[in-house]
Amino acid sequence: MAENDSPANTPLDVHAEGWSVLHLYYRIDRALWTSLDEKEQEEGLEEFMALLVAAEQEADLQVVAQGVIGKADFGLVVIHPKIERVQRLTQEVSATILGTCFETVYSYLSISEVSEYQTSTGEFARKLIDEEGLAPATEEFQQKLGAFSERMGHYAKARLYPELPGKDKPVICFYPMSKQRGERFNWYALSLAERKRLMGEHATSGRRYAGRIQQLVTSSTGIDDWEWGVTLFSKDLKAIRDIVYELRYDEGSTFYGLFGEFYIGVRIEPLDLAKALQL
């Protein structure tokens, strides 16, 4: 049997196909934009706002626009079950009048997934037997196992089929990351049991931010330059700073975490585009 848990022992198959997730960051060529006459600018804004509104209303397509601070001007988070739709949206953006004034600063493609480190129903059942001394035939055992299975089912579904948050979490942080493959610390040389222990510690720390942070973790091994993409949605900047700071002290991050550049943005509603980007 492979290292991953058996699909029969997980609420959702860890090999199930997830959704395509794209992060796009643009810099506005303001010299080019200001070279357009007033009518072209008005048409360009109306065209682009209409594109965003239509994208937000399209079934199965999730799009969040953001004003990016520092490293770019404008960003998009895009989710769709089909990669073809994601690709087409990138070209729809580029084909607009405003899109012709965009220069791509950074893009990151990944897919949603069920974590291979999620505790299986079988593992939880063994814990009930070994650590709590419960017999499988007892009502308490069955109730605890049923509640766990339901909870993990919801969690796995949220990981595989994510829903982007609404206006209540306007601050967005994205960063890519990988696990260390060094001579001394090599994540992939660890046993599955050890990796699960380390990721369990990481998850416990993260749960303390429930309500303050909504997290989207996606897989990009073989798809982009890093192994995972992490997106954090929050009401305020401090919550993002706090969770990233705290999680870096977890053993799994301290010895094995490698991090790319961080991008911070603030959610933009389509009709606020001109004001937010000062166009």
Which residue in 74, 75, 80, 63 sits closest to 21, CA to CA? 80
In our burial notation (b when 16+ CB lie closer than 10 A, e otherwise), range 52-77 reads: beebeeeeebbbbbbbbeeebbbbbb
Total structural domains within the chain: 1
Q: What is the CATH number of the domain that holds 83?
A: 3.30.70.1030
CA distance 184 to 105: 34
Give domain status of residue 61, yes or no.
Answer: yes
Greater model confidence, 148 or 54: 54
Q: Which of 90-94, 128-132, 252-256 has the lowest mean pLDDT?
A: 128-132
In a domain, residue 35? The reply is: yes
Tell me: pLDDT of 212 over 90.
Answer: yes
pLDDT for residue 12: 56
What does the pLDDT look like over 236-250, one tens digit per residue?
A: 999 999 999 999 899
Active site residues: 175
- Summarised one tens digit per residue, pLDDT across range 110-161 is 999 988 887 778 888 888 898 889 888 998 889 888 888 888 888 888 889 9
In this prediction, residues 68-88 reach a mean pLDDT of 98
Residue 207 in domain: no
Give the pLDDT band (50/70/90) at residue 3: very low
pLDDT value at position 149?
A: 85
For residue 13, name the pLDDT band (cuts at 50, 70, 90): low
For 71, which DSSP code? S
The reply to whether 107 falls in a domain is yes
Q: What is the pLDDT of residue 39?
A: 97
pLDDT, greater one: 263 or 15: 263
pLDDT the model gives residue 8: 35
Position 171, amino acid: V
The encoded tokens of residue 95 equal: 């084909």
pLDDT-derived band at 15 (thresholds 50, 70, 90) equals low
Q: Which sign does the torsion angle of CA 193, 254, 106, 42 carry?
A: positive
Angle between helices 139-160 and 121-130 (to 10 degrees): 150
**Is residue 130 situated within a structural domain?**
no
The pLDDT value given to residue 118:
78
Average pLDDT on 93-101 reads 98
81 three-class SS: coil
Q: Show the beta-strand stretches assigned E in 29-144.
A: 62-68, 74-80, 102-112
- pLDDT higher than 50, residue 4: no
Q: What is the predicted pLDDT for the residue at 103? A: 98
Domain that holds residue 94: 20-112
Whether residue 199 is contained in a domain is answered as no
235 within some domain: no
pLDDT digit string, tens, across residues 61-70: 999 999 999 9
Q: Would 59 be classed as within a structural domain? A: yes
pLDDT at 188 (0 to 100): 94
